[in-house]
Every structure is written in structure tokens, then in C-alpha cells.
Structure 1
Amino acid sequence: MGTLVGHVAPGFAFLALGLWHLFNHIKLHLLHPNSYTSSPWFPTSKIRYIELFLIMVGSSISISMELFIGPEKHQPFDPDGTIPSNHLQNFEHSAISMTFFAYAALAILLDKTAPKAQHDLTQFLGAVAFAQQLLLFHLHSADHMGVEGQYHLLLQSAIVVCLATTLMGIGMPKSFMISFVRSLSIVFQGVWLILMGYMLWTPGLISKGCVLHLEMGHKVVQCSSDEALHRAKALVNLQFSWFLVFVSIFAITFYMFLAKFYHEKVEYSTLTKEFEPLESGSEDVESQKESKFGDSKSTTFVHLGKGY
């Protein structure tokens, strides 16, 4: 993962997943505002588990890249079977991918075997995946003390929001804002990973006074002085602030755009009650009905409720 492709590829995966969730949550809320209930994943009409299948495929590719394709020997171990220091990061990144793979696979099994409890348990699995991601990025084997460390520190703040909103969604499944913020935090995580990939491994985009340096088999950004380091970190903070504003503007604009196409479902039903001519012995009752309603036919429109 310590390369441009290693950050950009998972960044696009998180971005696509976040946009998919953001679209579906907004659509579901616009159509059923009163009966809205969040969903940890969204099926499609043709392939029900396409979202979960794609998560499993992406996680498998990530694990393969980290452990078998990326290393020069195409295997991550030393000749004596131990893990070399320069491959610790690969194992940490693959552990994150393994957790997301387990989330998707177990979500499918829960949907097939325990549909009544699948929402809470699937949300719990999602929280475990984000907690694993936060733990391994926070206790990363790489130093991450310089510019790269600042990027990873701010990335952890987005992961914290993902984790918190996922846990909150277990107890408050009808809260649209929790699902909205969780989807947006996944989008932001993807955008930030993409930015990290380009800003840390594109020589022309590295901050003034800093250069790419090979360290323990990985290229890292090193600054020539404390002043250059402080300047580079300040620029990272500015980038985070700008992207936070842009993503927030995008989210509200996206909501207003979808509001033009999806409207609350309100259905009406026509109930017609015809009074048949009664026997001669019931003429008095019929005359009372006619005097009360003014007509022997009464057509009523019944509103079935906004949140149907």
C-alpha cells in the first residue's frame, strides 16, 4: 500500500462504495421519509449481492498485491519463514483487507440464514472492520512522523467518524443523518486516500524543501529542515480543510439534485360504497341514510399516509 497505486486503488474503492451508499440512503429517505430505515448494504435487482461480491473481490486483490504480487520474491517471508521488517506494512494492510472480506462474506450468510438479526449484526461487522482499520493505521509499523504521518493522522479522523456512525446505526437505524454522515465519511476516506497517493509519490507535487527518499524498501518523503517540515504539514492541514468543505458542499448539492427526481410516495385509494335498494320493510332506514348523506352513493378518498 506504500505506493501511489497502493493508495489510489483502495481510495477509488472507498469512494465508489461511499457514493453508492450516499445515493441509496438519500433515495430511500426521499421516497419514505416517515418509515425510513437504514441498511448496511444495498442489493440490486439483477444481482442481489453485487456490492458484497465487489468488496470481497477488491479485498482479495488487495491481499494478493500485498503478500504475493508486490514483494520481489512474490512471497512475504524470509527464507527462515519469519516476517522481514520491510514487509510488516504489507501484513498490516492485508489484515485490514481480510477484515473487510470477512464483513462481506458474513453479511451474505446473515442475509440467507438470519434475516431478522442481519441489520444489527452486519452493522457490528462493519464496525469491527473500521475498528481494525483504525487500530492498524494508528499503531502502524512505519514511523509516519513526517508529512506521511500527517496524512495518516487526518485519515484516522475520517475512520473514527466511520466507526462512530456505524456503531450509532445499530441503536438508531431510523436516523437518516447517521447513515448520511457515515456514507459521506466513506466518500471522504476514499478521496483522502487518492490525494495521499498523488501527493506523496508524485515528485512534482511534493512540498518545497522535501524529497522522496528510499527507506527500508519503501519511498518516503523527507524534508531538509524543520521549517520545510512544518510548512509541509501546514499544507496537509489546509488540503484536509479544503476537501472537507468541498465534500460537504457536494453532499448537500447531491441531495438537492436527487430531490428533483425522487419524491415522497403518496398513494390514494378510492373506496366506493353503493347502497342497494332495500326491501319495503327497510324504507325508513334508507330514507334516514339519504337524509344524512344527501345521496345513496358516497365516494371517499382515503390518504394512506406519507411514509407508505
Structure 2
Amino acid sequence: MGSFKGHALPGSFFLVAGIWWTGKHSLWHATRRNKNIGSTRLASRASQRRLEIIESSVVLFFSFVGMLAEQFAAGGPRLQLYDFAEKHWEYLMNWQHATMYLFFGLAATVNLIVHTTEVAPLALDRLMLAIAFFNEGFLFFYHLHGRSMLDVHVHQLLLFAIFGEAVVAFLEVFHRGNIILELLRCTLTVLQGSWFWQIGYVLYPPHGPEWDLNDHNNMMFITMCYSWHLAFAMLIVSALYCTVSCVVRSRLRRTPPMEMGLLKPRDPESEDEIL
């Protein structure tokens, strides 16, 4: 990650993940709210399960690619962790980044197991996601020794989003399907993604003057900038949630009255388990 591209890549991943999760959870919530008037046709349990499998497969693939890139890209350790000749550790930054990718890959693997078999409890996917976020924050927390003041500060601000995601995902273990928790996780994920881009522009500006990494005024500005990123994330998630909800209601209103009359309310006790 020691470059602009190295921060833009995970930033793009988290931005896409946050937007994808927002759309997915908004659709699931809208269909649950309107299930008595036929909205389950828009998102059946089978389609939800297929989307979960596809999503997990994509995350697993990119996690594997990320680990390979950290190990075998130019200047990578190529699986060498310790130099026995010089007696010191090698490429610890790359190894830490690869470990972050590893845990997200493990979370994706658990998600695949949960949604393709019956051997694991459903809540295990959220628990593993919480562990993946916690591990990311844990490694970043001890990733900043000896760096400049602004470098440390921008990464410390990133930790608020990461540990927040870990806490929210853990709460989802016990409150699955809670739209507030789901949208909060989406917001923090978008925030993490946009902030990775901001870190790239601060530490490795692709154009324009370089930042003074020891200027206190820059720290004050970047802290305020973090609040702007949070507002941006909240706006994106809110707009997408409202859009999906309106689209679902609009499609249901266009359902022919005769077809609506044939749709019987479903017994709440027979509802499929929330995915």
C-alpha cells in the first residue's frame, strides 16, 4: 500500500462493497416490509442465496489476488519473512497487508460455507466479517510506528471507521436483519473506502504540491475533511436506500389489481429465515 495506487485499490474495493451492500440490504428490507403484497417476487430467498454466493466468491477471488500481489509484485517478499543471513525480518508491511487480505478471504470462505451447506450457523458469516474488520484495524493500529505526524493521524482516523465496522458487524450476529445496523455498516464501509483515497492523495499526491506532513494546520484540516467524508458516506447510503425503496414500491403499485387479489398474506411464522 506504500503508493497512491496501493491506497486507491483497497479504497475502490470498500467503496464498491459499501454501495453494493447498501443496495442489497435496502432491497431485502423493502421486500420484507411489503411481503404481504407480493414483493417477495422481487427477491426470493433463492435469489438472495445466489447473490450471497456470488458476492462471497468475488471477495474470495480479490482477497487471493491481493495476497498474491503483496507477495509477488515488484519489490514483494516472495514468501520470505526472515533473512537468516542478515538476521532481521523482511517486508513486514507486505506481510501485514497480505494478512489483512487473508482474513477477508476467510470471511468470504465462511460465507460460502454458510450459504451453500447446512453445517454452519447462519450468524457465523457476520461473526467472521467482524473478526476480519477487527484484524484489519488491529494490524493498522500497530502499523504506524516511526511515521510522520500527519501520516499517523490520517491512519488513526481510518481506525474509527474500521473498528466501527467490526462492532456493527458483531452486533449483527445477534440482531440479523436490523436495517439500522446494516446501513450503518454500509456507511462506515463507504467512509473507509473514500478515506483510503484521501490518504493516497495526502501521502502520495499524483499531481500538485506535496503535503507538509508535520504541519499542525494540515492535521486540523484533514480532521475536518474526515467529517466531510462521513457526511458524503451518509448521503450516498441514504440516497441509495431511498431510491431502492421507491423503486420497489413503484413496481408493486404497477401490479395489476387482479394479480394483487390473488396474492395471499403469508403467515409470519412460515417466513423464510433472514439472510
Distance in 2 between the 1:82 and 1:33 partners? 63
Distance in 1 between the 2:87 and 2:54 partners? 35
Distance in 2 between the 1:84 and 1:183 partners? 40
Give the alignment of 1:166-245 within 5 angstroms: 166-202=169-205, 204=208, 206-207=210-211, 210=212, 222-223=213-214, 229-245=215-231
**What is the alpha-carbon root mean square deviation over aligned residues?**
3.0
1:104 deviates by 0.8
Distance in 2 between the 1:263 and 1:116 partners? 35
Cα contact 2:14–2:192 (8 A) shared by 1: yes
Amino acid across the alignment from 1:65: A
Q: 88, 91, 100: which one pairs with 2:92?
A: 88
191-200 or 5-14, which moves further after superposition? Answer: 191-200
Cα contact 2:161–2:191 (8 A) shared by 1: yes
Matched residue, 1:19: 19
- Give CA deviations for 1:14-50 in whole Å, capped at 9, x if unaligned: 11111111001111112222779xx9xx6546xx622
Unpaired runs of 5+ residues, structure 1, are 211-221, 224-228, 271-301
Counterpart check, 1:4 vs 2:7: no
Matched residue, 2:101: 97
Amino acid across the alignment from 2:265: L
Q: 131, 141, 149: which one pairs with 1:128?
A: 131
- Give CA deviations for 1:135-168 in whole Å, capped at 9, x if unaligned: 1011115434511111111100001210111011
CA pair 180-230 structure 1, distance change in 2 beyond 3 A: same
Counterpart check, 1:247 vs 2:250: no
Cα contact 2:19–2:237 (8 A) shared by 1: no
Cα contact 2:162–2:188 (8 A) shared by 1: yes
Distance in 1 between the 2:191 and 2:82 partners? 37
Cα contact 2:161–2:188 (8 A) shared by 1: yes
Distance in 2 between the 1:174 and 1:34 partners? 15
1:82 deviates by 7.7
164-173 or 27-36, which moves further after superposition? Answer: 27-36
> Which protein has the larger Cα radius of gyration, Structure 1 or Structure 2?
1
- Which is richer in strand? 1
Unpaired runs of 5+ residues, structure 2, are 254-258
1:81 deviates by 7.2
Q: Which has the higher contact order (CA 8 A, sep 6+)?
A: 2
1:259 deviates by 2.6
CA pair 249-141 structure 1, distance change in 2 beyond 3 A: closer
The count of residues paired between Structure 1 and Structure 2 equals 252
Cα contact 1:268–1:304 (8 A) shared by 2: no
**What secondary structure is seen at the aligned counterpart in 2 of 1:204?**
coil
Instruction: Normalising by structure 2, report the TM-score.
Output: 0.80
Cα contact 1:137–1:156 (8 A) shared by 2: yes
Distance in 2 between the 1:238 and 1:56 partners? 35
**What secondary structure is seen at the aligned counterpart in 1 of 2:109?**
helix
Amino acid across the alignment from 1:140: H
1:69 deviates by 1.1
Distance in 2 between the 1:98 and 1:201 partners? 26
CA pair 117-204 structure 1, distance change in 2 beyond 3 A: same
